[in-house]
Structure 1
Amino acid sequence: MRRKATIALHWLTLVLLILLVAGGPIPVIAWAFALSGLTMCLLALAQGLMNGPGPKLEGAMRSAHPWLSRAMYAALGIVTALTAWSQLGGTWSGPSLPDLYFYLMSASSLHAIFHLWRHTALGDGALHRMTPTSTHKLL
């Protein structure tokens, strides 16, 4: 159940982030993004991260992997919390939500490139971890 929930939240949050980058903080999308992202972060806090460096990742990248994962979750948590705060009428003096969505999308793109590299160059099945089982034969 945890794996399915994490996978669903992962992809839902990505789609909602893309919509927010394209259209700005539209209330219904902003709330869905905030709830899905915060739920994903809370699930990881309560039950730990499901990812790992895999046996073929070595050296500095193997050491950095858990910290990069934590950083991605922290960024997601901050942006989704600020999105919820904004929807509740809160304000802050930092970057605008559209800027934060762009930064998070940029970090997400690097995250995706890294996992595509792992899956193809290292052949460690990294994409199998975060894709639904029904898509594994396509990978």
Structure 2
Amino acid sequence: MRRRATITLHWLTATLLLFVLGDAGATAWLAWLYAASGLAMCALALVFGLMSGPGPKLEGAFRMGHPWLHRGLYLLIGWGAVALLAETVARPLPGPSARVLLLTLLAVALIHAIFNLWRHTALGDGALRRMTPRSLHHIL
């Protein structure tokens, strides 16, 4: 159940992030939907811990930094979601705007995706299998 919820929220949050940053911008309902998805994902991680792990083939600085980089990614997801909600209700947070935070999140998420592609292909540790639905594992 936890795996399915995490995977669903992972892909839903990623997709909604693209829509929020798209041409039309964040409508109120889209902002609320993104925030609900992102904060639910963060809540799952806070209550049950992160589902990620460095894997046995990851070594050195990548292995040591792995859990901290994931915590930072979740922090950015939560901060961006809260900032977007605050702007939606006309009470912006001090500091960077929601758009700046979400663009930063997008950049970090792309680096995260490239890193996991590298792990999956170069290290052969099955990193992509962790966050893809089982129905897609046959193509990995």
User: What is the TM-score of this pair, normalised by structure 2?
Assistant: 0.95
Q: Report the aligned-residue RMSD.
A: 1.0
Structure-to-structure mapping, 1:35-74, within 5 angstroms: 35-74=36-75
Deviation of 1:94 (Å): 2.3
Shift of 1:90: 1.2
CA distance in 1, matches of 2:32, 2:132: 24
| Maintained 8 Å contact 1:13/1:36 | yes
- Whether the aligned pair in 2 keeps the contact of 1:12 and 1:36 (CA below 8 Å) is yes
CA distance in 2 between counterparts of 1:92 and 1:47 reads 28
For structure 2, the residue ranges without an aligned partner over 5 or more in a row are none
Q: TM-score, normalised by structure 1?
A: 0.96
Equivalent pair of 1:54/1:124 in contact (CA under 8 Å): yes
1:99 aligned counterpart, secondary structure: helix
Q: Structure 1: any 5+ residue segments left out of the alignment?
A: none
Deviation string for 1:1-30 (max 9, x for gaps)? 000000000000000000111132221111
SS at match of 2:51: coil
Alignment match, 2:126: 125
Report how far residue 87 of structure 1 moved.
2.1
- Report the Cα offset of residue 97 of structure 1: 2.2
Structure 1 range deviating more: 91-100 or 28-37: 91-100
Instruction: Give 1:105 shift.
Output: 0.4
State, as a whole percentage, how many aligned pairs show the same letter.
53
Does residue 21 of structure 1 match 2:21?
Answer: yes
Q: Which has the higher contact order (CA 8 A, sep 6+)?
A: 1
Q: CA deviation at 1:46?
A: 0.4
Q: 3-state DSSP class of the match of 2:102?
A: helix
Q: Is the 8 A contact 1:25 1:98 kept in 2?
A: no
Query: What is the one-letter code of the residue matched to 2:108?
Result: A
Query: What is the CA distance between 1:91 and its match in structure 2?
Result: 1.6
- The 8 Å contact of residues 24 and 98 in structure 1, kept in 2 or not, is answered as no
Task: Output the CA distance in 1 between the equivalents of 2:93 and 2:41.
Answer: 24
Deviation string 1:82-102 (CA, Å, 9 cap, x unpaired) is 112222331234222222221
Letter in 1 for 2:56: P
The answer to whether the 8 Å contact 1:30/1:83 transfers is yes
